[in-house]
Amino acid sequence: MIALDRAPVRAAVAAAALLAGLATGWAAAGGFGALALLAVLLAAGNGYEKAYSP
């Protein structure tokens, strides 16, 4: 079992991720650059993780 298998840990990680995203968006001050970078990282992760779908 890894830490993310426990629901409270998952909830805490999810809340932290949301807050980190909000902070990133706030720091971008209306610019799209940070969101564009996140989109590229999300695409890379999505492509990679699809190898692990039955």
Phi/psi at 8 (nearest 5 deg)? -60, -35
Residues in contact with other proteins, shown as a per-residue x/- string from 6 to 45 under the rule CB under 8 A: -x--xx-xx--xxxxxxxxxx-xxxxx-xxx-xxxxxxxx
Q: For residues 48 and 41, is the Cβ–Cβ distance under 8 A? A: no
- In whole angstroms, the minimum distance from the beta carbon of 51 to other proteins comes to 3
Q: How many residues of this chain interact with other proteins, rule: CB under 8 A?
A: 42
Interface with other proteins by CB under 8 A: which residues? 2, 4, 7, 10-11, 13-14, 17-26, 28-32, 34-36, 38-54
